[in-house]
Structure 1
Amino acid sequence: MQTAPTNATPTPRGINLALARAKADIPAMASLLDAFGPLFACRAELRAKASGWRGRKPLVDPERFSQGVFILADRGFQDMSSRLPAAAQTLLPVMSASFPAMAREFSALGEALASGAVPARKVADAAFGGKVQVPGVSAEALAFAAAELVRPFIERQAVSLLPLVKDLPWNQAHCPVCGGAPNMSVLRKSGDDDTFIKSHGGRRFLRCSCCATEWTHKRVSCPACGCEEPDELVVLSAPERPFERVDACKRCKSFVLCLDGGELVDVPDPDVAALTMLPLELHARKEGFVPMALHPWSNF
């Protein structure tokens, strides 16, 4: 397994540059980019300040790992709930400005966290699908906000843990750190020549929908079912943006977005790139394909 290069970790500056380029290239998506862009940048700032994994790291059994048992299979992420009230003071106002229709609900969530009316632990549970009720906050708004609040901390923990397995084989489609499914793939330049590289585009990295870890995966294959039959694999793209596409599979009807960075001078931030591919995602859904995992905007 090869993990993504260090520069794959988003920074506020890189995100803002990618947003500016995307708005110039695709004016029709400016409003959506303006909504999610500040959220991406704020999340990156929180991640940069987070401490990552604390204390003794999990022990990795190389044999179990090679069989597909990811690092956190037996324990999950460390509890970050004590940090959520402070993170909410930073992130929720940004989300309120970006999504005014939910501003009142985000404000109610922030007040509940600050006062202790709703324990931060329950908000963390909501981020992972737990059934939690917060007065004045819909289930949809709570799930969205909770997921964004915990994301910087679990992404930072994943960065701390990934070196534990950087030299171990991993041929799975789920994340080697947390077991999450990919919602994005990126083809990155490489001078190597092995089974992962099929043409000029370089290595294919799958990107975890939960913790943003990136890991190599066979390029000409369906990550969901492993199909490698050319007649069963479908590529959907638009001629004006050939470096953006959907990799879909007729056999299992799943798809994953793909950014081909092999020929790009500057590979954009993956979140910004995925957002600009929303029209392709919608097209794939209309064709009857289902995403392997969702993005924050997928249900908007």
Structure 2
Amino acid sequence: MPSTEIRPRQTLLNEMAGRHVAFREIIERFGMLLDRQAEAREELHVVNPAKCAYEEERFLGGEPLVAFVNPEEFGPALRQSASKLWPFLGLVFPPLHEALGTIGKRLDEDGDWLNLCLRAIVHGDEEALTQAAALAHVSPDFLFMALQTAYGPCITAHKEALLSLAPAELWRKPHCPVCGSAPDLATLECHSGQTDFLISKGGELWHHCSACSHHWRFVRLECPGCGNQDHKTLVRFSLPDSPREHIYACEKCRHYLPCLDLMESSDKVDLDLTALGLVHLDAVAQSKGYAPLSPAPWTALGLATPEAKAS
């Protein structure tokens, strides 16, 4: 009998760590971080979506919902989230402790710097990110990782309010309709009402957002990184003992995305944990020279190993 409820998160993390011993430390550390992010999300105040200057034509043209929000609206939530998460991140990853303390103090005391960070993380302003990193004497990559860690709970807390503004079920873009982030996971799913044709072709492809955890449908046979639709340069591979776990990769842009096949599964799945549980596939893909599409922090840890093999 398939499960109708998602099992406790710690149970799932323990099973992941036991299954992938080589990646136990990564799964345990980032699992703790995901738990702390969930706690932070529950404590945040939600911005009133009535303040958004939403335009449906722009949204359907590909602009995510945060494009219609003044980034400064997220200032109090980002400060609150960072105050909870950055000290914890410094404890879990001691080499980051000093730098996180420095930027945490600046976030509290320097409103102009906070606004630069908000422009960078909410609206994807690369110039603002570069400028903020230079002022704080840290690398842009480090600052983006830290900001993303704190921003994830903020945008997730606002997700339902933002989605109430738009016909998000019509969205077929590769990036998230809520926050514009890249997916960290694809899933193959069979929903009730699908035609026999769709089922025979492998069902629907869905994306899971790396930042706000939104779940949206995407088209099959298209690279979410570059839009390539040439099936000859779109590849899929998996490990011999895990036929339902795949890597989708593009030979044109050399990006990859993990995928979990749920076509024959009726169990509820915690998608927020699934990408972390596929970290072994990240290792395989990186060993083949592909770069992660997702900005999830564990994908940037140099996971490629000479022992990683796939079919």
Does the TM-score normalized on the shorter chain lie above 0.5?
yes
The bucket for the TM-score relative to the shorter chain is 0.7 to 0.9
Contact 1:206 1:215 in 2 (8 A): yes
For 1:236, the equivalent position in structure 2 comes to 237
Change (3 A) 1:83 1:57: closer
For 2:246, the aligned partner's letter is R
**Residues 276, 161 of structure 1: alpha-carbon distance in 2 compared, 3 angstrom cutoff:** same
Question: Is 1:157 aligned with 2:158?
Answer: yes
For 2:62, give the aligned amino acid. Answer: G
* Aligned-partner Cα distance in 2 for 1:24–1:183: 22
CA distance in 1, matches of 2:238, 2:223: 17
Give the distance between the partners of 1:195 and 1:170, measured in 2 at CA: 23
Q: Partner of 1:83 in structure 2? A: 77
Residue 117 to residue 206, structure 1, CA distance change in 2 (3 Å): closer
Please give the TM-score of this superposition, normalised by the length of structure 2.
Answer: 0.77
Amino acid at match of 1:292: L
Deviation at 1:43, TM superposition (A): 0.7
More helix by share: 2
Structure 2 unpaired stretches of 5+? 302-311
- In the TM superposition, 1:221-300 aligns within 5 A as 221-264=222-265, 266-300=267-301
* 2:23–2:280 Cα contact (<8 Å) kept: no
C-alpha separation in 2, matches of 1:231 and 1:15:
39
In the aligned structure 2, how far is the partner of 1:60 from the partner of 1:281?
37
Kept in 2: contact 1:71–1:178 (CA 8 A):
yes
Task: Report if the CA contact (8 A) 1:108-1:137 is conserved.
Answer: no
What secondary structure does 1:51 align onto? coil
* C-alpha contact (below 8 Å) 1:233/1:247 kept by paired residues: yes
C-alpha distance after superposition, 1:91-128 (max 9, x if no partner):
12321221011122223333444555985434435545
Range 165-174 or range 86-95, more displaced: 165-174
RMSD over equivalenced CA pairs, Å: 3.5
C-alpha change, 1:92 and 1:256, in structure 2 (3 Å) is: same
Percent identity over paired residues: 27
Q: Distance in 1 between matches of 2:100 and 2:177?
A: 33
1:4 aligns to what?
none
Q: 1:76 to 1:16 in 2, by over 3 A?
A: farther
Comparing 194-203 with 25-34, greater Cα deviation is found at 194-203
2:90/2:97 contact within 8 Å kept:
yes
CA distance in 1, matches of 2:141, 2:64: 29
Which residue does the alignment assign to 1:97? 91
CA 1:123 to 1:59, structure 2 compared with 1: closer, same or farther past 3 Å? closer
Structure 1 unaligned regions, length at least 5: 1-6
Call closer, same or farther: CA 1:223–1:299 in 2, change over 3 Å. Answer: closer
Whole-angstrom CA distance in 2 between matches of 1:162 and 1:196: 30
Map of 1:149-188 to 2, 5 A cutoff?
149-166=150-167, 169-188=170-189
Q: 2: CA distance between counterparts of 1:226 and 1:119?
A: 35
What's 1:37 paired with?
A: 31
- TM-score, with structure 1 as normaliser: 0.79
What is the count of residue pairs matched by the alignment? 291
SS at match of 1:152: helix
Aligned amino acid, residue 91 of structure 1:
L
Distance 2:207 2:110 in 1: 38
